[in-house]
Amino acid sequence: MFICGQCGYESRKWLGRCPDCGEWGSLAEERRPGKVRKTQRSQASVQPLTEAVPGEQGRLVTGIGELDRVLGGGIVPGSLVLIGGDPGIGKSTLILQLLSALARVGRVLYVTGEESARQIRMRADRLRICDETILLATENCVESITDMARDTRPLLLAVDSIQTMYSEEVGSAPGSVTQVRESTARLLTLAKSSGLPVILIGHVTKDGSLAGPRVLEHMVDTVLYFEGDRGQVFRILRTVKNRFGSTNEIGVFEMKESGLAEVDNPSALFLAERPVNVPGSVVLPSVEGTRPILVEVQALVSPSSLGTARRTAIGADPQRLALLTAVLEKKIGVTLFDHDIFLNIAGGIRIDEPALDLGMVVALLSSFYEKTIDPATVVCGEVGLAGEIRAVGQMDLRLREAERLGFKTFLLPASSTRQLEGKVVDGIDLVGVRTVQDIVSELFTG
């Protein structure tokens, strides 16, 4: 069979393009698993829903606050968690620190198919981890791993990585679509039947998505992405899928010589090196899940010497930047078609919520007019195609975070000022704006 490496589509002949997902050159020849000998079926027990054990009561708290946050309060027994990220981003370091935190409670099992036991010991010595309750095994066969887990009965099983595992009943090479799918299915059966939580580490492709078939993300309970530039010290652990909690949470870590350290106050960290009284810089109160984070939005608008002006955005959607540029040209009359525009979210974090719009607009106008924004001002709101400023959610969280860090002025949609009646914090001046023309008159004229 020829199987697509992106979506798992199967065909009896090779095709240049997958008919299901449209990916080119993704079909590879693989042997289908042989027939499995039928065994006697076990009768599943039937019980009322009200008698099922609540999952929230048995969560395994890791003690790493940022990790517990993205998991929804801890690891649920019998859950299958997949952690992906670029090579060298810190996935194995995070897993080793997690196992060390849980080793104080009971035995944990770490199975690696990529590194030797000596390499793991070297990393553990660097992190100053020397727990005897951490069991280590170098194994690639998933059947042997399940046997080890049933014999040792650990508190947690960590597998590094799922792309190196193989099943004896599948003839394909490790890392193929069939092997990844079958190995994950075996570990999923182990987790659900025994209540053992299993954490998998997955490789990512060049475009940043998890390697292997898309069905891999559907099989697991939780998918976490470890983001960040290896040239920076910040690491962002983002929840993409979570059957036991919110999918908008993030955890912030700082990479040090002794390992990953939690960042309890990421707002202060992201604003620590913020320049003062510089055009093109403004602070945005963003919300990731239940956590408010203040980030700096930077913009640089300069005349272009090329025939086509450039539009570059780092940490934000480039299409949204082009849209807002067109809105400013149409509604305010600023000439931006012959200017290069560069936008950056400082600190290496990515913001995808609509509340970023107003921060982008203010930063662009500040750089274009060469006028600075008051360092004690924060802005937040969505911008529509008609130039109107729309309300966004969770304004009370954003307001309290801005007050905690000492900001004095909050530029926000006029409709949100009514929502904050009775929640206004002393010391912050709320300035409501309705259109992008109001922004110009409020900040850049007079």
Question: pLDDT digit string (tens) for 254-301?
Answer: 888 888 999 888 888 888 888 888 999 999 999 987 789 999 999 999
| Residue matched to tokens 């662009």 | 364
Q: Which of 264, 286, 317 is the last residue of a domain?
A: 264
Q: Report pLDDT digits (tens) over 361-385.
A: 999 999 999 999 999 999 999 999 9
The mean pLDDT value for 402-423 works out to 85
**304 within 8 A of 311, measured Cβ to Cβ:** no
- Position 55 pLDDT exceeds 80: no
164-181 b/e with 16+ CB inside 10 Å = b? bbbbeebebebbbbbbbb
182-215 b/e with 16+ CB inside 10 Å = b? bbbebbbebbeebebbbbbbbbbeeeeebbbbee
Number of CB atoms found within 10 A of residue 16's CB? 8
- Position 232 pLDDT exceeds 80: no
The mean pLDDT value for 208-235 works out to 80
Q: Is residue 402 part of a domain?
A: yes
Phi, psi of 134 (to 5 degrees): -90, 110
pLDDT at 76: 92
Average pLDDT, the chain: 88
Same domain, 245 and 332: no
- Position 419 pLDDT exceeds 90: no
Q: Is residue 315 part of a domain?
A: yes
- Position 249 pLDDT exceeds 90: no
Domain that holds residue 6: 1-30
- Position 211 pLDDT exceeds 70: no
Q: Report pLDDT digits (tens) over 101-160.
A: 999 999 999 999 989 999 999 999 999 998 999 999 999 999 999 999 999 999 999 999
Q: What is the CATH classification number for the domain harbouring 162?
A: 3.40.50.300
Q: Torsion angle, CA of 67/71/72/78, rounded to 10 degrees?
A: -130
Q: Is 318 annotated as a binding residue?
A: no
The mean pLDDT value for 223-238 works out to 83
Q: Is residue 38 part of a domain?
A: no
- Position 343 pLDDT exceeds 90: yes
Q: Is 89 annotated as a binding residue?
A: yes
Structural domain total, the chain: 3
Residue 443 exposed, middle or buried by CB count within 10 Å (0-12, 13-18, 19+): buried
pLDDT at 258: 86
Same domain, 68 and 213: yes
| Residue matched to tokens 């490790």 | 174
Q: Is residue 41 part of a domain?
A: no
Number of CB atoms found within 10 A of residue 395's CB? 23
Q: Is residue 47 part of a domain?
A: no
pLDDT at 149: 95
pLDDT at 265: 86
Q: Which residue has the higher pLDDT, 197 or 25?
A: 197
pLDDT at 312: 94
Same domain, 123 and 166: yes
- Position 39 pLDDT exceeds 60: no
Same domain, 286 and 247: no
Q: Is residue 221 part of a domain?
A: yes
pLDDT at 222: 94
- Position 45 pLDDT exceeds 80: no
Same domain, 284 and 408: yes
Same domain, 284 and 425: yes
pLDDT at 213: 64
Q: What is the CATH classification number for the domain harbouring 384?
A: 3.30.230.10
pLDDT at 384: 95
Same domain, 251 and 276: no
Least confident of 51-60, 81-90, 213-222, 401-410: 51-60
Q: Is 63 annotated as a binding residue?
A: no
Same domain, 214 and 274: no
Instruction: Write out the two tokens for 92.
Output: 């194995």
Q: Report pLDDT digits (tens) over 315-342.
A: 999 999 999 999 999 999 999 999 999 9
Q: Which of 199, 230, 264 is the last residue of a domain?
A: 264
Same domain, 351 and 209: no
Same domain, 25 and 171: no
Q: Is 90 annotated as a binding residue?
A: yes
Same domain, 109 and 239: yes
Q: Is residue 208 part of a domain?
A: yes
Q: What percent of the chain has pLDDT over 90?
A: 54
Q: Which residue has the higher pLDDT, 98 or 205?
A: 98
Q: Which of 264, 297, 313 is the last residue of a domain?
A: 264
Residues 6+ apart with CB under 8 A from 387: 327, 330, 331, 332, 435, 436, 437
Same domain, 304 and 224: no
The mean pLDDT value for 1-9 works out to 81
Q: Is residue 51 part of a domain?
A: no
pLDDT at 260: 92
Q: Is 120 annotated as a binding residue?
A: no
- Position 16 pLDDT exceeds 70: yes
